[in-house]
Amino acid sequence: MCTRCESFVFSAAPASHASAWQPRRAFLLAAAGAALAGPALAQVSVGNASMARNLVPAERIETAGVQQYGQLLEQARAKGALAGDGNAQLQRLRTIANRLIPFATPWNTRARQWKWEVNLIGSKQINAFCMPGGKIAFFTGILDQLKLGDDEVAMVMGHEMAHALREHARARMAKSAGTGAALSIGAQLLGLGQMGDLAARAGTQLITLKFSRSDETEADLVGLELAARAGYDPQASVSLWKKMAVASRNQGGLSFLSTHPSGPDRIQKLEANLSKVESLYREAKRS
Ligand SMILES: [Zn+2]
C-alpha cells in the first residue's frame, strides 16, 4: 500500500469533482509578451528562464502534469481523501488562488490557456505543489502541522505557481533526459507505487521533482511578488520558512521539506527582497 494513502485522513467520499476556473481579471503589465524573461515591471530580479527548457515542448510537460495530477486525484478519491467542494480549508485555498492567478500571466503567457485547479488531499505529509499547466494541490499536513495563516498559504502557493510559470520542470526534464532512473527513485521514496512507476516511464515524476537551488530562489522571489500583488503580507514569507525550519528539525527527510531546505540563506534572500514588493502589497491592500 502506498505510504501516502495510509496517512490519508478524510473519511467521507468527496461530494463532487473539483472544478477548474479561469482567472477573473487580467493583470495589466506593460511587457506581458516578454514571457519568461520576466515582466518588465517586475520588482524582483530573476533574469531569463533556462534555455534548456526549449528542448522539450511545453505542451508535452503540461500534458504530463495534467495526467499525473489526474492520477493523484483519482488515487486520493478512491481512498476518500480528496476534499469535497464544501470543505472549508479547500474553499480557503481556492479563495487565495483566485487572488493570485490574475497576476500569473505576465510571468508566462502560456498560463492564459491553463485550466487552473486547486485541490486538497487529506494526508499528514507537509506537502504542496503546482504541476505544469496550473494544477495545484495542498496536503492537509502543511496547513495543519505548520498552522499556516492565509498570508503564509499564499507564499507557499505563489512559490509553487512560480515553479510552473518559470517552467522549472520543463528545464529539469530537458537536462535530465535519459536519467529516468533517478526520477523513479523519487517516486519510490514517496511510496507512489504503480502511479509513480507509470509516471516515471512517461518521462518524469513531476510530484517529486527536486529543483536546483537557483530554481528555488527564483520560485521564492517570483512567489513573493505574486503574493504581494495579490495583497498578501510579504513578511509572511519569512515566518513561513521559519516554521519550515522548525518542522524539518522534527521530521524525516521526505516530502516538501526534503526538496525545500529552509536555511538562513533562504530567509536572508527573502528578507533582502521584502522592500522591493512592500509597495505592491500596500497598493493591493488599498484597492
Ligand atoms: Zn520549490
252: in domain:
yes
Calculate how far, in angstroms, residue 13's C-alpha sits from the geometric centre of ligand 1: 30
Least confident of 8-12, 91-95, 137-141, 246-250: 8-12
Calculate how far, in angstroms, residue 77's C-alpha sits from the geometric centre of ligand 1: 26
Global pTM reads: 0.78
The yes-or-no verdict on residue 141 having pLDDT over 80 is yes
Calculate how far, in angstroms, residue 257's C-alpha sits from the geometric centre of ligand 1: 10
Range among 67-71, 247-251, 252-256 with highest mean pLDDT value? 67-71
| Type of residue at 137 | A
**For residue 53, with 0-12 CB atoms within 10 Å meaning exposed, 13-18 middle and 19 or more buried, which class applies?**
buried
pLDDT tens readout for residues 106-135: 999 999 999 999 999 999 888 899 999 999
The closest of 279, 163, 280 to 219, measured between CA atoms, is 163
Q: Which of 117, 152, 160, 218 is catalytic?
A: 160
**Confidence class of residue 59 from pLDDT cuts 50, 70 and 90?**
confident
Q: In this predicted structure, what is the pLDDT of residue 205?
A: 63
92: in domain:
yes
In this prediction, what percent of the chain has a pLDDT beyond 70?
73
140: in domain:
yes
3: in domain:
no
Calculate how far, in angstroms, residue 259's C-alpha sits from the geometric centre of ligand 1: 7
Calculate how far, in angstroms, residue 18's C-alpha sits from the geometric centre of ligand 1: 24
Range among 58-62, 184-188, 206-210, 226-230 with highest mean pLDDT value? 226-230
Give the pLDDT mean for 22-37.
41
Q: In this predicted structure, what is the pLDDT of residue 41?
A: 75
**Confidence class of residue 251 from pLDDT cuts 50, 70 and 90?**
low
41: in domain:
no
Q: In this predicted structure, what is the pLDDT of residue 102?
A: 96
Q: In this predicted structure, what is the pLDDT of residue 40?
A: 67
218 catalytic residue (yes or no): no
Give the pLDDT mean for 36-45.
75
23: in domain:
no
| Residues shown for the chain | 287
The range of the structural domain enclosing residue 264 comes to: 55-286
Residue pair 56/173 in contact (Cβ under 8 Å)? The answer is: yes
Calculate how far, in angstroms, residue 46's C-alpha sits from the geometric centre of ligand 1: 15
Residues with CB under 5 A from ligand 1 (ion): 216, 219
How far apart CA 257 and CA 190 sit, in angstroms, is: 13
Phi, psi at 119, each rounded to 5°: -135, 160
Calculate how far, in angstroms, residue 7's C-alpha sits from the geometric centre of ligand 1: 23
Count how many domains the chain has. 1
Please provide the average confidence, as pLDDT, over all residues in the chain.
78
- In the chain, what's the furthest Cα-to-Cα distance? 51
3-state secondary structure (DSSP) of residue 118 = strand
Residue with cell 487565495: 96
